[in-house]
Every structure is written in C-alpha cells, then in structure tokens.
Amino acid sequence: MNAETEAIKESGKADPAIVPKSIIKSFFIGGMIALCSVTWLGIIPEPGMLLWSIISTVMVIVGAMIATAAYMPAFVRNFSYDLSDRFIVINRGVITKQKTTIPFSRIQNVSVIQGPLDRRFGIYTVKIETAGFSAAGGSQGGPQPEGLLVGIKDPKRLESIIDELVHQYTQKPMVPENLKGKVFEETDLAFDQFIATIMSKMQEGDQVKNKVKELRAARNMSQEQLAEKVGVTRQTILYLEKGTYNPSLKLAMKIAQVFDVKVEALFELDESDG
C-alpha cells in the first residue's frame, strides 16, 4: 500500500494569515538589503544624491513587498498536507509543484516554532526532522528540513497526531491481517517464545547421541577446523559434541559430508532414555 491509496486521518492547509506576515517580513528584509548595499558599496550620499538614495531604498522595499503580495496567496492555495497511518504527504509550490512523502518510520523529531511576527498573527511553523535531513536542517542558514508545515493555527493537535502515529508505527510490530492471532504481536512475548524454543531445542540433545567427536579426533581435526568447513561457530560444535544440542538436518548432512559418512552413522537414539 502506498501513500496515494491510504485513508487520510488528518488534512490541513496554510492559514491565510501567513500572507500579511510575509509582506511585513519582506518590508524589513528589503530595507536591510538596501541598507547593506549602500554600506557595502561605501556610498555616502551627497546632498544632491540624498533624494535619489531615499527613492532607491523605497523602490527596493516596495518591490519586495509587491513580489511577496503576488506570490504568497498562490503559495497558500497550493500548500496542503495529509496524514495517513504511515505517511505525511506535503504539497507545495507555485511555479514548480512539489510533493514530499515522509514515512513515519523516518521521523526523528518534531518541533514547533513561533517567531515574533508569527505571534502577532497567531500562527506557527511545525518542523519535521527526518533521518539524513535533521543534521543539515538544524544549522542556521542551512537547508530546510524535509518536512516543513507553515501557517499552522493549532500545532498542539498536529504535533499530538504525528507523535501518536510515529509511536504506533515504530513501537508496535507491523503484523499482516492474515497472520494476526497466529504470531505474537507483543515483542516481550515473542522473545519469551524464542527463548523457550531454543531451550527446547537444546534439551533434545539429551535424546540423541552422536559420534562427531570420535570422527573428528580420528581425522586429527580441531573443532575450529570442523566449524569452518560446515559454516558454524566453534561453540556450536562444542555443544554438539557435549550432546546438549541437536543440529538441523542441513548441518547434520554437512558434517556427514565432511567425514564422508552417512548421517545415520553420526547419530543414534539414546535407547536408555524413556
């Protein structure tokens, strides 16, 4: 199942308040650009040039504000986000449309940001940091994080939903519907069952005797050498020779092949046992 076919749990758009906020921000940015340009060029206006300097500064500021006023309404119209059980899908872009799909399994951190102008208009920015993007996005002036939700009015609700879905996806085993009730969905119980199976497997060794040690000694072969030939650890051969572990059929056949004997020549039932 992909993001397009999943049921949507939550949807949202950027609040229109982001438009006047951005226009005001462009006013200050335009003024700073004009001021920095004059300072960098070392221009000290003469009395006759003072009016021209003021007009140039005003033109830069007004131009930035007009461009922002034209761009931001289209940005708000095209910006949206959808949350499903497994993905966050973010749509944005005015000239070039962009769609970002973020699996909850990759989300590392969710933070809520509200600058001075954001507080004036009651909006927030929700930053979603993911594996591979969080380090770059966290630096000042660096690339934006993979997920950036702007113009959010109720970030607590959104943050709560994301946290719940991230925890649901990353903490609970994803068991297919056709296997539910047939496997352990709780990790602790699954581990207990795993240990019980291993202990049961090792106890089976008491019921079967083997001649691995005798055949190995007859061929002047160490446990390490035998283990390397059959692709297991030395401890496995040690447990096998002590009779505390029964090998799989595949391992038994590999050992028989090394010694050039039949499998039944290696193992025999302990008739004294029950």
In this structure, what is the dihedral angle of CA atoms 253, 259, 261, 263, given to the nearest 10 degrees? -30
Backbone angles phi, psi at 121, to 5 degrees: -105, 5
Residue 104 belongs to some domain of the structure: yes
Which domain range does residue 141 map to?
A: 10-171
Residue 1 has pLDDT above 70, yes or no: no
pLDDT at 80 over 50: yes
Same domain, 253 and 166: no
**Residues 129, 194 within the same domain:** no
The count of structural domains within the chain is: 2
**Cβ proximity of 266 and 215 under 8 Å:** yes
Task: Tell whether 219 and 162 lie within a shared domain.
Answer: no
How far is residue 49's CA from residue 52's CA, in Å, rounded to a whole number?
5
- Same-domain status, 98 and 29: yes
Is residue 1 domain-resident?
no
For residue range 109-160, what is the model confidence (pLDDT) as tens digits?
888 888 888 988 999 998 888 865 544 444 344 556 778 889 898 888 888 8
Least confident range from 9-13, 28-32, 259-263: namely 28-32
H or E stretch including 151?
strand 147-152
Task: For residue 28, give every residue at least 6 positions away whose Cβ sits within 8 Å of its Cβ, in sequence order, or none.
Answer: none
Residue 234 backbone zone (phi > 0: left; psi -120 to 50: alpha; other: beta): alpha
Q: Are residues 125 and 191 in the same domain?
A: no
- Average pLDDT rounded to a whole number, residues 231-253: 84
For residue 141, what pLDDT is reported?
46
> 181: part of which helix (H) or strand (E)?
none
